[in-house]
A = this chain, B = another copy of it.
């Protein structure tokens, strides 16, 4: 695709780049002509058309200084080359029995570093339903989750009961665990650890709402 530029076209292109970096706006035909010694702005115009045809610039018709350099990441590299991990995986829904971080569940990624939250987040879980609305977690929100089993009373946890994943507030008294919704419409769930199995998937460490176009209600 990189049809080679002629020497003259390269001169014109170089002048455009130089002008933009020096002044912050592109040159006019007349300025190009003056700089390269043309006596007619039409010479510049024709070179611009050629550069547009070859894809190295883009002309905006009828617009003064309407020259754009399409995202050519050629030269200047941003100094900080953060490994830019793909970010936190967003878990949409969890199939029964499968581990929560199985790739089939991953919707997309959120470009936030894990340690933006503390304790650091391992994934984001898309919350369904309004059972935690009084804790400010609404339908569609993303809950940042830190994978751990070490939970203190009163914290918000991601738990799995009978292969179903839920978000609740955790309270342990002896061998009984109470998982409370933060919504008067939902009754607390009491789990007797001696007879039932309760798996803690992690600790809620943050909430994100409105990302990726889900909007704000």
Pair A136/B141 contact, Cβ less than 8 Å: yes
Binds B, one of A42-50, A72-80, A187-195: A72-80
Quick one: given A24-B20, A136-B137, A156-B216, are A207 and B210 in contact (CB under 8 Å)? yes
CA distance A78 to B60 in the complex (A): 19
CA distance A49 to B73 in the complex (A): 31
CA distance A110 to B28 in the complex (A): 37
Partner of A116, one of B117, B138, B212: B212
Does A111 have its Cβ within 8 Å of any Cβ on chain B? yes
Considering the complex, give the chain B residue whose CB is closest to the CB of A154: B217
Does A68 have its Cβ within 8 Å of any Cβ on chain B? yes
Protomer copies: 2
Task: Known pairs A28-B64, A117-B211; list 17 more (Cβ under 8 Å).
Answer: A17-B76, A23-B68, A25-B26, A25-B67, A64-B64, A64-B65, A68-B79, A69-B79, A75-B76, A78-B85, A116-B211, A116-B212, A117-B212, A133-B136, A206-B210, A207-B207, A207-B208
Please report A residues at the B interface, Cβ cutoff 8 Å: 17, 20-21, 23-26, 28, 60, 64-69, 71, 73, 75-76, 78-82, 84-85, 110-113, 116-118, 133, 135-138, 141, 144, 155-156, 204-213, 215-217
